[in-house]
Every structure is written in C-alpha cells, then in structure tokens.
Amino acid sequence: MDVTGSIADTAPTGSTVITADELRSDQTTHTSVFTGSVVVTGTNFNMTCEEMTVIFNKAGKVDNILATGNVVITQPDRITHSGQAQYFSEDDRFVLTDQPVIEQNKNKVAAPIITIFRTNQKMITSGGRSTVIIVNGGPGQTTPAPTP
C-alpha cells in the first residue's frame, strides 16, 4: 500500500512535501537525511536530487539544506541543474556547485560556483570563468531588437 500519495494530498496549502526512498532523522543532532529519488515540492518550486540533508535549528525551523546528486530545481520561469546545491536560511541564499547551469527564458549562466540571493534577486558567479548566453538581447526581451 502506497500511503505517500494520500499523505501528500492532504498537505495544507503552502506546505513543502518531501518524498524519498528513505529517511533517517536524528532529533538530538536536529538532522534529517533523505536518500534515493528525493522529490521536494513547495510553493512555486520543485527540486529533485539523490540525497538531501536538512539541518534544523533548536526551534525546528530549517537552518541549512545540502542537496547532492543530479540536483534539478524547477521554478515557473527558471530551471537549475547542478551536482550540489546548498541553502542557507539566515540570508535566503543558495550556493550551486559541481557544474551548475541556470536557464531562464532561453538565457543561460554557467560557472564553477553560482550564488543566488533569493530575497533581493541577486546572483554572483565565482570560482573561475563564467559563461553567459543571452538570447534575443537580454532578459525579458522575447523578440529580436528592430534593426535601425
């Protein structure tokens, strides 16, 4: 009997639902490790990976997340691929490593390390050369610029 579907169906609006082949949780270290075909479904995003470690603070709130193994984060207008993604709640920041690539509106950014600050919509690339592919003149532009 597969109860995961029925539990996920009853999740309150705005909840984050995590499914995986296995969960190991340790309340003394405030750590949960999800392994095997991990799927995270939240408000306006989905993430898949092979393993995800979540560290909670003493109040039970997420402090840090480490996702590894073919990490794919999908949002309404963006998809991110990387070998590893780490989230830090204190400054609402993602650090993508292991060949990260972000695709948005056919534009692409690749670098050894890509840091995304979600709150203020900023991005920093570091760790070596960055490659940016801008299609049709830039973000938000969907048609070629007219010729003079």
Q: Quick one: average pLDDT of 63-81?
A: 94
**Residue 113: inside a domain, yes or no?**
no
Provide the pLDDT confidence category of residue 3 given band limits of 50, 70 and 90: low
The HSE-up count of residue 12 (CA atoms within 13 Å, CB side) is 1
Q: What are phi and psi of 128, to 5 degrees?
A: 145, -165
Residue 75 has pLDDT above 90, yes or no: no
**Residue 58: inside a domain, yes or no?**
yes
Structural domain boundaries, residue 89: 4-98
* Whether pTM exceeds 0.95: no
Structural domain total, the chain? 1
**Residue 22: inside a domain, yes or no?**
yes
Provide the pLDDT confidence category of residue 121 given band limits of 50, 70 and 90: confident
Measuring CA to CA, which residue among 130, 131, 95 is closest to residue 114? 95
Number of helices followed by number of strands (H, E) in the chain? 1, 12
The HSE-up count of residue 119 (CA atoms within 13 Å, CB side) is 7
CB 128 within 8 A of CB 112: yes
- At 140, the amino acid letter reads G
- At 138, the amino acid letter reads G
Q: How confident is the model over 20-59, as pLDDT tens digits?
A: 999 999 999 999 999 999 999 988 889 999 999 999 998 8
Provide the pLDDT confidence category of residue 141 given band limits of 50, 70 and 90: very low
- Region of 6 (left: φ > 0; alpha: ψ -120 to 50; beta: rest) is alpha
**Mean model confidence pLDDT for the chain:** 87
CATH of the domain at 54: 2.60.450.10
